[in-house]
Structure 1
Amino acid sequence: MRSVLLAAAALLAAAPALAQQSLTIGLATPPTALDPHYHAHAQSSATAAHVFEQLHAPDAKMQIVPRLATGATTTDGITWDVSLREGVRWHDGTPFTADDVAFSIHRAANVPNSPGSFGTYTREVRRIEVTGPLSLRITAAAPAPLLMANLSNIFIVSRRHGEGATTDDYNSGKAMIGTGPYRFARWSAGTEIHFARNDAYWGQREPWERASFRVIANNTARTAALLAGDVDLIADIPSTDVARVRGDRRFQVVTVASNRLVFLGLDRTDEALATGHVRAAEGAPALARNPLGEVRVRRALSMAIDRRALVERINEGQAIATGQFLPEGFFGHFADIPVERHDPEGARRLLAEAGFPAGFRLTLTTSNDRIVNSARMVQAIGQMWTRIGVATSVETMPHAVFTPRRNRYELPVFLSSWGNQTGESLYTLVPQLGTRGQGGLGNANRIRYSNPALDRLFVAAGTEIDAPRRLGLIRQATDIALADAVMLPLLLQVNNWGARQGLGMAPRVDQYTLAMSVRPAD
C-alpha cells in the first residue's frame, strides 16, 4: 500500500510538469492555407512562422532582426550581398543552403491562384546569384533601400521539398519541412493545427513539446474556453470581455497597441454597379454612374463617420481613432494629419453638391471573424451613413467567404484591415493603392483603384536611398491617397490576449499569436 501511495504522490507531483510541456491557444481566425507563399494574410503567416523562417524577421516591436541571414550589405542599394547562418538544418536533417533561398524568393511570387500574392515584396528583385553554399547576391532593378525589409515577408522553404510542390502538398503536410522551432504535426482546416517541438533547432529551444491552436471564431465561446481551462491562452479577447478576464485572478490580459489599420474600401468604378451593392435611392431611376466615382461623395461618407464613437462605444476604448495609414512611431506617420472630424451636416451638403441630394443605397460588407467588433462597427457606420441620406444595409460573413468575394470585386464597399510588417508606410500604400499589375504594385488592391501620379510616387519613394527625401515622397503620396478618399482610415486596433496565470507573453505589435512568444512564468 505504501508503494502505491508513493507512486500516486509521484504522479501528482509530476502533473504540473507534464502540463507545462504543452500549450493550447484559441484563435479567432484560421489560416487560409499552410503554404507559406499562398496568401499574404496575417494568420497564415503567423501559422507559417512556427515551421518556416525568413532571412530577417520583425520582432515583437517590429524591429527587423536577422534570422536565417547573418548579414546583408550594399553600397548602392542595387547589389546586396547576403551571408547565411551556418549549421541550420531542415526538419529532415538536410543542410540549409543559399540555393533554398533563391528558390524561395522565386516561388513566393509565382504560386498559382494566390488570393494575395507575395510578389509585391519581391518585385524589386531582378537577379539572384548563389555565390557560395551560404552566400548569395541579390540584384535589384533599381536602388532598393527597403529590399531586406520587404524580403522579411518571404518564408524560406526547402527546394528539395518545394520544387514542383503545390499548395495542396503543403496543406497535406507533405511539403511542410522547415527550419523553424516547431515541426508540423497535423492540420484540420478551419478547426485546429498542431506542432511538435523541433529539438534540433539551431536557435533557442522552445519550452513546449507540443503547441496546438484551436479555431474558436465565436467571441463568447473563445472567452468561455479560456475561463473553463480548455485553452491556455486566447487571441482577440472581445472588448466586452476584457474587464471580465482582467478581474478574474486566475487569468491575465496582455495588451499592446497594434500596427493593424481598420479601414473602408470604396470601389469608384462603374463596374461596381453590376454587384447590386451600389443602387439608386428608393423610387429613383436606376443609376447611370457610380456615385462613389465622385470624390465629394466619398468625402461625405468619410465625414459622416464618428470615429471616436467607434472607439469608445463600439470598441470600449480598445482602439485608437486615426486619420492616416500608420500608427505613431512608424516611418510615414505624420503628426499634423488629424482624425477626420465628424460632420454629418457638411456630409449632406457635399452629397447635394455632387448631384445626390436624395442620396442612394449601399451594402456595406465585412468578415465577422477577423477584425475585433467588425460586425458591430459596420452596423454603426451603416446607421451613420443612413442619417445623411445614404441608406445602408449590412452584410457580414466568415473571413473565408469574404476574402474570395472581395478579391473577385464582388464587394465594392467593405470594411477590412491591414497590418504593416515593415514599419514603413510603403508596405501599406503600395499593395493597397498601387495600380494592380503595374510592376508588382497593387497586389492587395481590391477596389480597382488606379492613379498614375501615385504610382510614380510609389516607385520614386521605393528607390530613394536618402531617408528624409523618401519621407517627403511618402508625404506626397499620403496626401494624394487621403484626398482621393477611396481607402478611408478609421482606427488602429489594440491587441488583447487572455492567458492563464503562470504564463508570460511578449505581445506583438503585428497581432501575431505565436507559441514562441509564450513562456512559463518565472
Structure 2
Amino acid sequence: MRSVRLAVALSLLAALPAAAQTLTIGLATPPTALDPHYHAHAQSSATAAHVFEALHKPDAAMQLTPQLATDATTTNGIVWNVRLREGVRWHDGTPFTADDVVFSLQRAGNVPNSPGSFGTYTREVRTVEVTGPHSLRITATAPAPLLMANLSNIFIVSRRHGEGASTDDYNSGKAMIGTGPYRFARWSAGTEVHYARNDAYWGEREPWERASFRVIANNTARTAALLAGDVDLIADIPSTDVARIRADRRFQVVTVASNRLVFLGYDRTEEALATGHVRAAEGAPALTRNPLADVRVLRALSMAIDRRALVERINEGQAIATGQFLPEGFFGYFADIPVERADPEAARRLLAEAGYPDGFRLTLTTSNDRIVNSARMVQAIGQMWTRIGVATSVETMPHAIFTPRRNRYELPVFLSSWGNQTGEALYTLVPQLGTRGQGGLGNANRIRYSNPALDRLLVAASTEIDAPRRLALIRQATDLALAEGVMQPLLLQVNNWGARQGLAMTPRIDQYTLAMSVRPAD
C-alpha cells in the first residue's frame, strides 16, 4: 500500500511542472496570417517570431543583435559579407544553409495579395550569392548603411518547405517549419495560436513547454480573463484598468515607453471625394475639389486637436504627446520640434482663408481593436473638429476590416499607428510617405501621397554612409513631411502588460508580446 501511495504522489509531482510550463497570453489583436512574408504587420511579425528567425533581431531596447547571422561586414555599404550560424537545424531536422537565406530574400517582397509588402525592406538588395554553406554575399543597388537593420524584418524560411508554398500552406501549418525556439502547433484564425517548445533549438531552451495565445479583442473581457486566472498575462491593458491591476497584489503591471506612433492620415487626391467621406457642409453645393488638398485645411485640422487632452483625459496619462514621427532617443528625433498646442480660433481663421468659412464634413475612421483607446480618441477628435466647423462623423471597425478598406483607399481620413522597428527615421518615412511604387518606396503609403522632392531626400538619406550627413537629410525630409501635413503625429503609445505574480517579463519597446520575453520569477 505504501508503494502505491508513493507512486501516486510521484505521479502528481511529475504532473505539476507540465502545468507550470504552459504559458497562456491574452492578445488584443490577431495576426492577419501565419505566412511570415505576407503582411508587414506588428502582430503578424510577433506571431512569426516564435517559429522563424531573421539574420539579426532587435532586442527589447531595439538594439540589433545576431540571430541566424553571426557577422556582417562591409567596406563601402554596397557589398556585405555575411557569416551564418552553423549547427542550426530546421524543425524537421534538416540543416539551415545560406541557400535558405537566398530563397527568403527573394520571396519576401513577392508574396501575392500582400496587404503590406516586405519589399520595402529588400528594395536595396541587388543580388544575393552563396559563398559557402554558411556564408553569403549581398550586393546592394547603392550604398546601404541600414541594410542589416532593414533585413532584420525578414524572417528566414526553409527553401525545402517554402518553394512553391502559398500563404495558405503556411496558414494550414504545412509550411510552418522554422528554426525558432517554438514549433507551430495549431492556429484558429482570429481566435488563438498555439506553440510547442523546440527542444532541439540552437539557443537557450525556453522554460515553457507550451505557449498559447488567445485573442480577446474586448478590453473588459481581456482584463477579466487575467483577474480570473484564465490567462497568465495580457497585452494592451486598457488605460482605465492600469491602476486597478497595479493595486491588486496578485498581479503586476509591466510598462515601457513605446516606438508606436499614433497618427492621422489624409488622402488629398480628388479620388477621395468618391468615397463620400469628404463632403460639403450641410446645405452647401457639392465639393468640386478636395479641401484636404489645401495645406491650410490640414493645418487647421491639426491645430484643432488638443493632443495633451488626448493623453491625459482619453488615455489616462498612458501615452506621450508628440509633434514628430519618432520617440526620443531614436535616430531622427529632433528635440526642437514642439508638440503643437491646440488653437481652435486660429484653426477657424485658416479654414476661412482657405475658402471654407462654413467648413465641410468628414468621416473619421479607425480600427477598434488595434490601438489602445482608438474609438474614444476618434470621438474626441471628431468633437474638436466639429467645434471649428468641420462636422465630423466617426466610424470604427475591427482591424481585419479596417486594414483592407484603408489599403483600397476607401478611408481617406483615418487614425492609424506605426511601430518603428529599426530605431531610425527612414523606417517610418520611406514606407509611409514615399511615392508608392517608386523604387520600393511607399509600401505602406495608404493616402496616395506623392512628392518628388521628398522622394529625393529619402533616397539620398538611404544611401548616405556618413551618419551626420544622413541625419541632416532626415531633418530636411522630416520638416517637409510635417509641413505637408498629410501624416499628422498625435502621440506615442505607452506599452502596458498585466501579468500574474510569479512571472518576470522583459517589456519590449516594439510592443511585441513574445513568450520568449517571459520567464518564471526567481
CA RMSD of aligned residues (A): 1.0
The whole-number CA distance in structure 1 between the counterparts of 2:210 and 2:294 is 54
Letter in 2 for 1:362: L
Match of 2:373 in 1: 373
Q: 1:325, 1:409 → 2: CA distance?
A: 22
* 1:273 correspondence with 2:270: no
Q: Which residue of 2 aligns with 1:149?
A: 149
Residue 17 of structure 1 deviates from its aligned partner by: 2.2
SS at match of 1:496: strand
On the 8 A contact 2:18/2:209 being kept in 1, the answer is: no
Rounded Cα–Cα distance in structure 2 between residues aligned with 1:444 and 1:202: 35
Instruction: Give the gaps of 5 or more residues in structure 1.
Output: none
In the other structure, the counterpart of 2:469 is 469
Q: Partners of 1:83 and 1:405 in 2: how far apart?
A: 42
User: 1:207 corresponds to which residue?
Assistant: 207
Q: Which residue of 1 aligns with 2:382?
A: 382
Shift of 1:341: 1.1
- Percent of residue pairs bearing the same amino acid type: 89
Query: What secondary structure, in the 3-state scheme, does the structure 2 residue paired with 1:70 have?
Result: strand
User: What is the CA distance between 1:395 and its match in structure 2?
Assistant: 0.3
The equivalent residue for 1:345 is 345
Cα distance, 1:2 vs structure 2: 5.4
Corresponding residue of 2:43: 43
TM-score by length of 2: 0.99
Contact 1:20-1:520 within 8 A present in 2 as well: no
Q: Write the deviation string for residues 297-349 of structure 1: whole angstroms up to 9, x where unpaired.
A: 00000000000000000000000000000000000000000001110001000
Residue 100 (1) aligns with residue 100 (2): yes
Q: Which deviates the most, 17-26 or 245-254?
A: 17-26
Aligned residue pairs, count = 522
Residue of structure 1 equivalent to 2:140: 140
Which residue of 2 is the match for residue 457 of structure 1? 457
Mapped partners of 1:276, 1:59: distance in 2: 44
**2:73 alignment partner AA:** T
Tell me the residue number matched to 1:404: 404
Paired position in structure 1 for 2:237: 237
Residue number in structure 1 paired with 2:68? 68
5+ residue gaps, structure 2, are none
Q: Distance in 1 between matches of 2:4 and 2:81?
A: 65
Deviation by residue 1:390-419 (Cα, 9 ceiling, x = unmatched): 000000000000000000000000000000
Partner of 1:112: 112
Aligned residue in 2 for 1:510: 510
The CA distance in 2 between the partners of 1:368 and 1:8, in whole Å, is 50
1:422-437 matches, within 5 Å, as 422-437=422-437
Letter in 1 for 2:518: V
Q: Structure 2 vs 1, CA of residues 307 and 61 (structure 1 numbering), >3 Å: closer, same or farther?
A: same
TM-score (ref. length: structure 1): 0.99
Q: Is the 8 A contact 1:51 1:183 kept in 2?
A: yes
Aligned to 2:187: 187
Query: Are 2:253 and 1:253 aligned?
Result: yes
1:179 aligned counterpart, secondary structure: coil
Q: Distance in 2 between matches of 1:14 and 1:96?
A: 35
Q: Distance in 1 between matches of 2:7 and 2:176?
A: 41
What aligned pairs does 1:79-90 form with structure 2 within 5 A after superposition?
Answer: 79-90=79-90
In the alignment, the residues of structure 2 paired with residue 106 and residue 12 of structure 1 have an alpha-carbon distance, to the nearest angstrom, of: 51
Aligned residue type for 1:73: T
C-alpha distance in 1, partners of 2:4/2:164? Answer: 57
The aligned residue for residue 23 of structure 1 is 23
The amino acid of 1:429's aligned partner reads L
Q: Counterparts of 2:12 and 2:225 in 1: how far apart (Å)?
A: 24
Aligned counterparts of 1:355 and 1:98: Cα–Cα separation in 2: 61
Q: How does 1:439-450 map to 2 (within 5 A)?
A: 439-450=439-450
